[in-house]
Amino acid sequence: MNKYNRSVKHFIMTIVLLWFMLSINAQSFTIDPYLANPVNHSITIRWESSSKANFLVKYGNTESFGKSKPANFIAEKESRYLYEVNIDKLLKGRKYFYKVSSEDISSKLSSFKVGTKNSNTLSFVVLGDSRSKPHIFKAIADQINKIDPAVIIANGDLVAKGGSYKNWQSQFFTPIKDITNHIPFITAVGDHESDNVDGDEATLFTHFLFPHKDNLKLWFSYDFNDAHFVFLDWRYPDSKEMIEWFKKDMHNSDKKWKFVVMHRPSYNLGGHRVAWGRNVWPELFMNHKIDIVFSGHSHLYERFYPIRPLSQADSWAVTYITTGGAGASLYEAIQHSSLAYTESINHFLKVQLKNNQIELKALDVNGKVLDSISWSKNKGIVSPEYLATVTAQEELDIINVFNAEISKRMERLPMVEIPYEPVLKLSSLKINEDIEFTIRLAKESEGKYEMQPVSGILKANTKLDIPLKIFGKSTLTVSKWGDLSPVLRLIAEYETKTFKGNVTGKVLEYIAW
């Protein structure tokens, strides 16, 4: 009896071990099929598997398919294998069904459309900075699924660590898999994908999303119906190559609506207070009649009133929107007269184009409308009602002189006897008025720190270094993220012949790593 029991036990253990070994070696989708590269009448279906195989994509305008195409192996990363199939000769607006399969596995039935039958209409969503909190990104993805747009546009920072394969799995592909299997996703590159701190020069970003592009030159454009989208690479604000490409690309586009998507904003009053390419790109956007510039990086929502130079009343007015609230920890929003709406909140944008009309809504994670705006453009002329809200570009350019400089991270802590001595590097290039200014402590920092206000005049089209001395007056505490207590913040007051105002800097942080 004991011998029999031992034999049965040995048999069961053998079966369990065999099943375990087979399950380990069983093929699976490590990344479910997702859509990419919707160009003209074609689309790309891409996926990743745990092992190499002969994959086949069946597709057609019924669930019985009718056509099939073998997959192309693209590359291997982390012992995972990336495949794709490009399907062309598709009809706009028609629904196609597809399934990816090998001898061992098969994906679920999915579908897609390429554009819409009516080229004068388009529904798309825009989002940014979805990294770090996949549960928030998943909630936004669920709302996007209800809207069912033609395309999803993103401005980067999809993951916290762009060089981490696990981050790409947990923070991007998993929360968004239920929409990217039937809606194409196009994104600009962010700093978390491409910098030298969290990123890997966009190597994994390019591997997954643009395997046929140069990871060091991620600027490109797409057409969707009557809209032209230009995606810029934040790493090269002064790149002559990207600038010349942009000019040529815009010259060759005859689309009614023109949008730019980039990670870092040229105008940004809250969050990071970024002024990306401020001496180059705003003029290019104006000259090439860009309707909206979508950016992120600062984790909040900002919609500026349309911007153009006060000195050029007949020039094109560009709308700038910061949309960086799709998942990452939120940043402070700053109210200002140039902003139509701003809020520190998780959100995404829904944009609807219909003939001469554009409608834009900012929605929260529950689908509630936070902000909305619409205007028309007929034969290249924007509705006068919208242009009546124009704000002066010159004043925003003055704000850009100070905003980032008074918000830089501290390399040293201000002590009671040893001051922190930053040097502000002010530049008024392309500003045609002298600027009288004073840099002082914000009220919330008075009594907790000591700094003599510094006043001066920044001449038009010049540069000026302004040294400061900031002393601490009490015990300081610093979090592991560099947050300082008590709070230290600077204010810049400015006045020219035309403008007068102040700039609220970011709460200063200490570089703790």
| Span of 342-346, 398-402, 481-485, 491-495 with lowest mean pLDDT | 481-485
Q: Which CATH class is domain 118-393?
A: alpha beta
Residue 340 clears pLDDT 70, i.e. is over it: yes
pLDDT at 196: 82
418 Cβ contact partners less than 8 Å away, ≥ 6 residues apart? none
Q: What is the average pLDDT across 296-307? A: 98
pLDDT tens for residues 393-452?
A: 999 999 999 999 999 999 999 999 999 999 999 999 999 999 999 999 999 999 999 999
What tokens does 178 get?
Answer: 């239920």
Query: How far is the C-alpha of 461 from the C-alpha of 467, rounded, in Å?
Result: 20
Q: How confident is the model at residue 11 (pLDDT cuts 50, 70, 90)?
A: low
> Does 404-504 match 29-112 at the fold level?
yes
Q: How confident is the model at residue 14 (pLDDT cuts 50, 70, 90)?
A: low
pLDDT at 2: 59
| Span of 3-7, 135-139, 310-314, 398-402 with lowest mean pLDDT | 3-7
Average pLDDT, the chain: 94
pLDDT at 121: 95
Query: How far is the C-alpha of 320 from the C-alpha of 323, rounded, in Å?
Result: 10
Residue 45 clears pLDDT 90, i.e. is over it: yes
136 Cβ contact partners less than 8 Å away, ≥ 6 residues apart? 130, 326, 327, 346, 365
Domain ranges (residues) in the chain: 29-112, 118-393, 404-504
| Span of 8-22, 118-132, 362-376, 419-433 with lowest mean pLDDT | 8-22
pLDDT at 24: 45
pLDDT at 17: 46
- Residue (of 160, 106, 103, 161) closest to 131 by Cα position: 160
**Among positive and negative, which fits the CA dihedral 91, 95, 99, 100?**
positive
Q: Report the predicted TM-score, pTM, of the whole model to 2 decimal places.
A: 0.93
Q: How confident is the model at residue 22 (pLDDT cuts 50, 70, 90)?
A: very low
- Residue (of 509, 192, 119, 162) closest to 332 by Cα position: 509
Decide: 382 and 292 in contact? Cβ < 8 Å.
no
| Span of 5-14, 62-71, 275-284, 410-419 with lowest mean pLDDT | 5-14
Query: How far is the C-alpha of 477 from the C-alpha of 188, rounded, in Å?
Result: 37
pLDDT at 198: 83
Q: How confident is the model at residue 23 (pLDDT cuts 50, 70, 90)?
A: very low
Residue 12 clears pLDDT 60, i.e. is over it: no
Give backbone dihedrals phi and psi of 128, rounded to 5 degrees, phi first. -155, 155
pLDDT at 513: 60
pLDDT at 118: 86
Decide: 296 and 263 in contact? Cβ < 8 Å.
yes
Mapping DSSP onto H, E and C, the string for 25-52 reads: HCCCEEEEEEEEEEECCEEEEEEEECCC
Residue 483 clears pLDDT 70, i.e. is over it: yes
CATH number, span 404-504: 2.60.40
pLDDT tens for residues 356-376?
A: 999 999 999 999 999 999 999
**What's the CATH fold of domain 29-112?**
Immunoglobulin-like (2.60.40)
Amino acid (1-letter code) at residue 251: H
pLDDT at 16: 45
Q: What is the average pLDDT across 112-119? A: 88
Residue 38 preceded by cis peptide, ω within 30 = no
Residue 15 clears pLDDT 60, i.e. is over it: no
Query: How far is the C-alpha of 387 from the C-alpha of 316, rounded, in Å?
Result: 10
